[in-house]
Amino acid sequence: MRHVDFSPLYRSTVGFDRLFTMLDTLGQPEVGQTYPPYNIEKTGEDAYRISMAVAGFSEDEIFIEAHRNVLTIKGERKDTDENKASELLYRGIASRAFERRFQLADHVDVVGAALKNGLLHIDLQRNIPEEMKPRKIAILSNGADATTQIEARTVN
């Protein structure tokens, strides 16, 4: 196992701390986090969906929070009195609590979430601000008096 020391880069760069922290964590394996299973799909040019299998959980037992480019999904089952009245012979449906975290890229927002047929669907949208989109810069021909004009149109 190799470890790369990014500390010299911390001293000579400004604003890239998050990037180096993410590179540091790439080498570390996830700590056996396999429950609940999930899919990540691209549903449009700037749209994504996370689908997570949360069978047995209701809407009030799942908590979703997006804070500083981290999407956190927590699930906690509440004990019901009807389960205590019967004897469980085999448990195939997991009822343990879970917490799953996803690193979101910059300018990715959570649009909505829906629970349907035991699947939790979380829709994400990437919204790039206008000032970060590419701009077309006009080139003037031999006009020394003319001022430079910059157009703020996106290039597709």
Residue with tokens 């996830």: 30
For position 148, what pLDDT does the model report?
59
What is the C-alpha to C-alpha distance for residues 126 and 108, in angstroms, rounded to an integer? 4
Q: What is the pLDDT of residue 1?
A: 47
Please report the domains of the chain, with CATH numbers, ordered by start residue: 1-30 (no CATH), 32-127 (2.60.40.790)
Confidence (pLDDT) at 39: 92
Angstrom CA distances, 110 to 42, 114, 121, 129, 135, stand at 14, 12, 11, 16, 27
Backbone conformation region of residue 61, classed left if phi is above 0, alpha if psi is from -120 to 50, else beta? alpha
Averaged over successive runs of 10 residues, the pLDDT of the chain (156 residues) comes to 64 64 64 80 91 90 91 84 72 82 89 93 90 84 62 66
CB 100 within 8 A of CB 37: no
Residue 135, pLDDT score: 83
| Per-residue 3-state assignment (H helix, E strand, C coil) for 24-41 | HHHCCCCCCCCCCCEEEE
Q: What is the pTM of this model?
A: 0.64
Q: What is the pLDDT of residue 99?
A: 92
Tell me, what's the pLDDT at 132? 81
Asked if 134 and 155 touch (Cβ cutoff 8 Å), the reply is yes
